[in-house]
Amino acid sequence: MAQERRSPRAPSDHSENGQSSRSSGRRRHSRSFSASSGVLYAVAVIGVSILLACVCWIAANDVLALNKPEKEVTITVDKEDSFNQVADRLKKEGLIEYKGLFKLFASVTGGKAKVSPGTYTLNTDMDYRALLSGMSVNSSTKAEITITIPEGYTVTQIFQLLEDNKVATVEELTQAAAEHDYAFSFLQGIPLGDAERLEGFLYPDTYQFNTPHNAVYAINKMLVNFDEKYTDDLRQKVTDSGYSIREILTIASLVERETDGTDRGKIASVIYNRLNNPSSGTMGYLQIDATLAFLNGGKVPTEADKAIDSPYNTYLYKGLPPAPIANPGLDAIKAALDPEKTGYFYYALGDDGVHHFFKTLREQQSFIATQELYNK
């Protein structure tokens, strides 16, 4: 009997549907995961972009000086300051927020090299570039200071005053005075090498100086002022006097240092009377106490000071000192050129705070004997 041949069994619909369902589920899960990952990535990108944009905006605000409260401050950059210290100062004063960013900007733009010592007026409207330019040597933001140099100040006193006000150091000013050849006719013939060669020529007045100010320029400013005050009329009077301008300034400096403020003409007359009458009782000695104070550092002269061996000692040496002992004002210069006509050879300070003038030594000594000032 022939064996019945069986046909292969066809897969059931159930089996096919189950397999298809599992495969479809995996594809749906994969698509769902991919979609979620894409969303997360997009969110991350957007978040980072927003964060970077915020950082850039904040940085830009600092670089460009945006949205800062108005404030003006004075910043001093000293010679020994590092750029890091300057940046610290700017941050402390609220002119910058991010010191590292400011230092990077200064290095990249070359602004770091432009910063120079000085005192500057800066404000929060100034961006990084303006701050760096504002602290440069030729900056218009450099602070100016008003200094009044009193009549009768010496070169030493003037230089100390300028240093105290941060215009320039005494060392810088002394070197500039001694070594720089200033182009003024009244300085011709006075050799370089000593700062006191300018004694008498630094005109006492009120000046505007930058802080700091180049020492040569600071001195030149005072010399220019003297040159302007030394008018053609005064130059002619100097020529007519028979004295040099330096000798006239020497007389004027003695007057300036001796005057009580009301008697310049009379003191000048005493000086000329002694100079022009060497055979008188004073024998050509001026005997001006101010020359002793010039020698002893500005202290009240003593009897011991009269023995100091110096050509500036008018008790030991006849005639004028070799150079001015101070920087006289215009009134003293005019008194030296046009003294009162008197017969006085002596004077003394009274208890009333003014000078009294005498023709003879006896008259002077009689007056002194009556004054408590000399009998303490």
Q: Is residue 253 domain-shared with residue 352, that is, in the same domain?
A: yes
Query: Which of 112, 142, 172 is the last residue before a domain boundary?
Result: 142
Q: Which residue in 262, 256, 285, 304 sits closest to 346, CA to CA?
A: 285
Q: Are residues 177 and 284 in the same domain?
A: no
Residue 136 resides in a domain: yes
Domain boundary residue, one of 83, 108, 142: 142
Weakly modelled stretches of the chain, pLDDT under 50: 1-12, 14-16, 18-20
What's the domain range around 75? 46-142
Residues 251 and 355 in one domain: yes
User: How far is residue 58 from each of residues 61, 169, 296, measured CA to CA in Å?
Assistant: 5, 42, 64
The closest alpha carbon to 223, from 247, 193, 245, belongs to 245
Q: Residues 76, 155: one domain?
A: no
Question: Is 97 in the same domain as 154?
Answer: no
Cβ-proximal residues to 258 (8 Å cutoff; 6+ apart), any chain: 267, 288, 289, 290, 355
pLDDT in tens, 228-269: 999 999 999 999 999 999 999 999 999 999 998 899 999 999
pLDDT in tens, 307-324: 999 999 999 999 999 999
Cα 128 to Cα 74, 85, 138: the distances in Å are 16, 16, 17
Judgement on whether residues 222 and 168 belong to the same structural domain of the protein: yes
State how far the Cα of 332 lies from the Cα of 264, in Å rounded to an integer: 6
Do 209 and 266 sit in the same domain of this protein? no
Domain with 75 in it: what CATH number? Answer: 3.30.1490.480
Q: Are residues 209 and 135 part of one domain?
A: no
Instruction: Please answer whether residues 142 and 118 qualify as being in contact, where contact means their C-beta atoms are separated by less than 8 angstroms.
Output: yes
Ramachandran angles phi, psi of 119, nearest 5°: -115, 125
pTM of the model: 0.71
In a domain? residue 1: no
Q: DSSP characters for 291-332?
A: HHHHHTTSPPP-TGGGG--STT-TTTS-S--SS-SS---HHH
Q: Is the peptide bond before 301 cis (omega within 30 degrees of 0)?
A: no
Q: What are phi and psi of 28, to 5 degrees?
A: -65, -40
- Where is the domain boundary, 200, 229, 258? 229
What pLDDT is attached to residue 125?
Answer: 87
CA neighbours within 13 Å on the CB side: how many for 96?
25
Note whether 263 and 361 are same-domain residues: yes
251 and 352 fall within a common domain:
yes
Whether residue 352 is found in the same domain as residue 293: yes
pLDDT for 179 equals 96
- Which among 342, 352, 363 is positioned nearest to 267, based on CA atoms? 342
Looking at residue 37, its pLDDT comes to: 62
Number of domains in the chain: 3
**Residues 6 or more apart in contact with residue 122 via CB below 8 angstroms:** 72, 73, 74, 75, 90, 93, 95, 131, 134, 135, 141
Q: Assess whether 173 and 198 both reside in one domain.
A: yes
Largest CA distance in the chain: 184
